[in-house]
Amino acid sequence: MSSRIACFGELLLRLGAPGRELLLQSPRLEAWIGGAEANVGVSLARFGHEVAMLGTVADNALGRAALGELRRHGVDTGGVRLAPGRMGLYFLATGAGHRPSEVLYDRAGSAFATADAGAYDWPRLLHGAAWLHLSGITPALGPASARAAAQAVRAAVDHGVRVSFDGNFRPMLWAAWDGDPATMLRPLLEGAEIAFADQRDVDVVLGPDPGAGDDEPREHRFARAARRAFDAFPRLRRIACTTRRQASVEHHALGALMATRDGELHRVEERPVPGIVDRIGGGDAFAAGVLHGLLSGWDDADSLRFGHAAGCLKHAVPGDFNLCGEDEVLAVVRGERLDVKR
């Protein structure tokens, strides 16, 4: 079943206010390891795949702890460089009721963001990999990581490694320097066979759709954006995203959409997600779930259903990683009862 998947991106240390407190409301912070690509890698490893993390971390106790946490979940970290510098951080205050969660990034000048793009030996790092997964967060960190992401995708295409790309548009990161998202994200989409993106991500790269209307149903806007992406990027075969409605911070409704190059549009109806524990990493859990289905030989509809269930389930797991295995996700797909397991 397994095909080796390489995930390239920054490992982060998340420092969160305990419970629903504001940051430093009390003098405590809870530490978790995370990062978009690492979240996908851990989830895929939990589903039984062979996963390798690629990147650079600080050569200090924080970087080594992050690598140890990945290894604990079955991810190979042999392709991650240790280098002088600092660990990328982000701070999280989890929202409550009608107070939204807030993320503060502290990633500028991290060992990953400043790593020389030429330090990555891509033919060696991608040897034996069937897929490369990366996201739009990496080029948003600065010119060095933007070059590294583009070189990684180019090497993957040259060596027959299939590429999966998650848009993950982060305006605050792009605003911190003079990067051009449209120019720097384009080569990543050009190499991708599957993109996890919605109409906003497509518009960032291709410009606003002049025919789109604000009152157009979300599903129609997604289908139009997918067609624009397929026309612009000949390698792209699928584009998928989640849809979300929020009644409060703790109660959402999550759906999912997937469009294919041959014109199919798959949809998973919204499922209520009440009592949310932690929504960080939900999109990564969705992406990992869809990839797991496709790598397992499932059809597009079943892969989307599994990804949607994985994304829903992540909202009940503290921390960035979705630690649920295939059986637990399939139980959600099947709508099994929520009795205590004894």
Q: Assess if residue 225 is contained within a domain.
A: yes
The residue segments making up the domain with residue 270 are 5-329
Smallest CA-to-CA distance from 293 within 282, 305, 311, 281 is with: 305
pTM of the prediction?
Answer: 0.96
H/E element, 311: helix 300-314
Q: Assess if residue 342 is contained within a domain.
A: no
Phi, psi of 168 (to 5 degrees): 40, 50
Q: What is the mean pLDDT of the chain?
A: 95
Q: pLDDT tens digits for 268-281?
A: 999 999 999 999 99
Q: Assess if residue 109 is contained within a domain.
A: yes
Phi, psi of 258 (to 5 degrees): -140, 130
Phi, psi of 277 (to 5 degrees): -90, -45
SS3 254: strand
182-204 mean pLDDT: 97
Q: Assess if residue 338 is contained within a domain.
A: no
User: Would the pLDDT of 191 be above 50?
Assistant: yes
| CATH number for the domain harbouring residue 166 | 3.40.1190.20
Burial class (CB in 10 A: 0-12, 13-18, 19+), 101: middle
User: Would the pLDDT of 338 be above 80?
Assistant: no
User: Would the pLDDT of 130 be above 90?
Assistant: yes
Domain tally, the chain: 1
Give the pLDDT confidence score for residue 210 in this predicted structure: 83
User: Would the pLDDT of 211 be above 80?
Assistant: no
The tokens 């990992």 sit on which residue?
Answer: 288
- Give the integer Cα–Cα distance in Å for 261 and 226: 8
Q: Assess if residue 336 is contained within a domain.
A: no
Give the pLDDT confidence score for residue 1 in this predicted structure: 41
Give the pLDDT confidence score for residue 337 in this predicted structure: 81
Give the pLDDT confidence score for residue 3 in this predicted structure: 80
Q: Assess if residue 337 is contained within a domain.
A: no
61-79 mean pLDDT: 98
Q: How many residues does the chain have?
A: 342
pLDDT confidence bin for 212, thresholds 50/70/90:
confident
User: Would the pLDDT of 36 be above 60?
Assistant: yes
Q: Assess if residue 335 is contained within a domain.
A: no
Give the pLDDT confidence score for residue 5 in this predicted structure: 98
User: Would the pLDDT of 295 be above 60?
Assistant: yes
Give the pLDDT confidence score for residue 2 in this predicted structure: 46
Cα 193 off chain centre by: 16
Q: pLDDT tens digits for 230-264?
A: 999 999 999 999 999 999 999 999 999 999 999 99
User: Would the pLDDT of 340 be above 80?
Assistant: no
Give the pLDDT confidence score for residue 339 in this predicted structure: 77
Q: Assess if residue 278 is contained within a domain.
A: yes
